[in-house]
Structure 1
Amino acid sequence: MPGTEEYITRMIHKHSDMVLRLALASVRNMADAQDICQDVFIRLYKHQPEFSDPEHERAWLIRVTVNRSRDMLRSPWRRRVASTSPPQLPITREEDRDVVEAVLRLPAKYRMVIHLYYFESYSTSEIAEMLGSKESTVRTQLRRARDQLKTMIGGMGDEAIF
């Protein structure tokens, strides 16, 4: 039942990794990503939306995460303070770490679509709806992001990267 402690706990266990990864892909700072993750679940508790199915639930969490990430990136504090350390990535395989680090070096608009497409398995039309963009814009951003990743990683094909 939405709003209960058990429900919120279940939602946190089910979706916190996805929310944290998405926030980290956006803000590139683990402390800020953790703040966003916490804020997303506080909003879930406060608003207690009713979801029609698990996909609606997941899409709502992604939309709130995207919005909170954008808010944080636009904040005056963030503009004045620069992060001095790269994010600590909980990844054990070295080749996976290289790919994720390359994705994190992309501009924000490309990081978000790459993450949603490859790591969360959303289609370009679903991503466009979540981000409030046109589907053609998302496809263009994916293509440009792939081109930049190829250059960063050393000219590998799409199959080798993802």
Structure 2
Amino acid sequence: MNGEEFSQRITDMTQTLYRVCRTQLSQRCDYEDAVQETLEKAWENRGRLRDERYMQTWVIRILINECHNIQRQRMRELIIEDPPDPRPAPDGEIAMHDALMTLDEELRLPIVLYYVENYRVAEIAKMLRVPEGTVKTRMARARKELKEYYGQGDWNP
């Protein structure tokens, strides 16, 4: 794949990267930084991509690692939180985001990748470097917790 094709594919997946990152980090500036760092690292390391079919999986794995780096950095720093984003989000989007943020990261990420980004369980397992059975178990636990969050069975993906 030449540089132009690589750039186009990266551009096409940018919104997916932002959506995944938004479930991992709480501040807009952090997920913007994470996506930017991911794009730079993917470009710099594009020669390491062994199979073009797995480009999106590879880039999302870079993003997840970058989100973890930012989370570790934030834990070490004492910072004053940025004010919340002044632009209102739709009520349903806020409610779903709030519900997802109640989940532990290991439960939240498979749910977002499966239901929002439409990845298959096998692809999610590769991204997270866990067996498929683990992904299925985490998704089942996440669905259970979301149902409890919404009340008796009101959550339907």
TM-score under structure 2 length normalisation: 0.81
Contact 1:2–1:48 (CA under 8 A) maintained in structure 2: no
The DSSP-based 3-state class of the residue aligned with 2:23 is helix
Residue from 27, 42, 64 that aligns with 1:29: 27
Q: What code does the residue aligned with 1:2 have? A: N
Q: For residue 61 of structure 1, what is the aligned residue in structure 2?
A: 59
Deviation at 1:44, TM superposition (A): 2.0
Other-structure match for 1:15: 13
> How far off its partner does 1:47 sit?
1.7
Return the alpha-carbon distance in structure 2 between the equivalents of residues 81 and 101 of structure 1: 24
Q: Relative to 1, partners in 2 of residues 1:13 and 1:125: Cα closer, same or farther, differing over 3 Å?
A: closer
1:27–1:33: 8 Å Cα contact kept in structure 2? Answer: yes
Note if contact 2:147-2:153 (Cα within 8 Å) is conserved in structure 1: yes
TM alignment of 1:66-81, pairs within 5 A: 66-75=64-73, 77-81=74-78
Q: CA RMSD in A?
A: 2.8
The amino acid across from 1:33 in the alignment is Y
- Three-state SS of the structure 2 residue aligned to 1:21 is helix
Quick one: structure 1 residues 125 and 101, their matched pair in 2 at CA, closer, same or farther if it must change by over 3 Å?
A: same
**Which piece of structure 1 moves more, 10-19 or 136-145?**
10-19
Point out where structure 1 has 5 or more consecutive residues left out of the alignment.
Answer: none
Q: Distance between the aligned counterparts of 1:89 and 1:138, measured in 2?
A: 35
Equivalent residues of 1:25, 1:104 under 8 A apart: yes
After superposition, the Cα gap between the structure-2 partners of 1:123 and 1:7, relative to the gap in structure 1 and judged at 3 Å, is closer
Cα drift, residue 12 of structure 1: 4.6
> 2:122, 2:132 within 8 Å by CA — same for their partners in 1?
yes
Instruction: Flag structure 2 segments of 5+ consecutive residues without an equivalent.
Output: none
Q: 1:58 to 1:72 in 2, by over 3 A?
A: same
Q: Are residues 1:148 and 2:132 paired? A: no
User: What percentage of aligned pairs have identical amino acids?
Assistant: 26
